[in-house]
Amino acid sequence: MKILFATGNDKKYQLMKERLKDFRDIEVLMPKDLDIKINVEENGTTAEENAILKVKAYYEKTKMPVIAEDSGLWVEKFSEENQPGLFVKRVKGKEGLSNEKILAHYISCLESVGGESLARYKTGVALIDKKGNLHSITIEEEPFLLTTKKSTKGYLDGGILDIISFDINSKKYFNELSEDERRKRYELIDKKIKEMIEKIHFEL
């Protein structure tokens, strides 16, 4: 059985394939495998709503099972107006800023609340099965520490905040994590997505 993962990001695609590898009868496809591309207006107020918008658009186009995800960042000590939410790379409504300007914004906000704060990503996952039934969940990921103290190492694959994001369990910055340690941070998401698939496996 085939399921379409509504993303154009190869790295996210590989992660999803890894998550679903135990379901040997499921083949995960990308839109480019079907030679389709849809510009979905992600105007939801939560990550789950945005994931739902994506699966609905791709299901309408393909009529095949579709899965999608979206995520946002919430910082415990930030005021409402400074919460990144679904727009981690947007600063006061401005997009396309350099890594340095985005990082400077977060550091400035952290300095105003004492130099550090617990934070967490929330990931929304949505799936439409072959009968057109919608399933969706929000997963609150493991908390980590955002800090003004930077890692001495550089960025990882566009992970702008990795050098100020500190993993509490391993006591390492995100950009210093080994591949195994990085995968460990995804364990909760892996588990929840697998549970979703298991419940509706025969509807795919």
How far apart are the C-alpha atoms of 184 and 97, rounded to whole Å? 31
The three-class DSSP label of residue 35 is coil
Of 70, 129, 162, 167, the catalytic one is 70
Terminal alpha carbon distance of the chain: 7
pTM of this prediction?
Answer: 0.91
Position 196 scores a pLDDT of: 94
pLDDT at 40: 93
Number of domains forming the structure of the chain: 1
Helix H or strand E segment including 145: strand 144-147
C-alpha gyration radius of the chain: 18
Mean pLDDT by groups of 10 residues along the chain of 204 residues: 95 93 95 94 94 97 96 96 91 84 94 97 96 96 96 75 95 92 90 93 84
| pLDDT tens digits for range 20-50 | 999 999 999 999 999 998 999 999 999 999 9
**Tens digits of per-residue pLDDT, 47-76?**
999 999 999 999 999 999 999 999 999 999
Give the angle 30-15-23 at the CA atoms, nearest 5°: 80
DSSP assignment string, 112-145: TTTSEEEEEEEEEEEEE-TT--EEEEEEEPPPEE
Backbone angles phi, psi at 147, to 5 degrees: -140, 155
Tell me which residue range forms the domain holding 42: 2-203
pLDDT for the residue 155: 66
Active site residue 70: yes
CATH number of the CATH domain containing 71: 3.90.950.10
Beta pairing partners, 73: 85, 121
Q: Does residue 45 contact residue 28 with C-beta atoms inside 8 Å? A: no
Q: Is 169 exposed, middle or buried (0-12, 13-18, 19+ CB in 10 A)?
A: exposed
Task: Look at residue 158 in the predicted model and tell me its pLDDT.
Answer: 57
Supply angle C-alpha 13, 19, 21, rounded to 5. 100
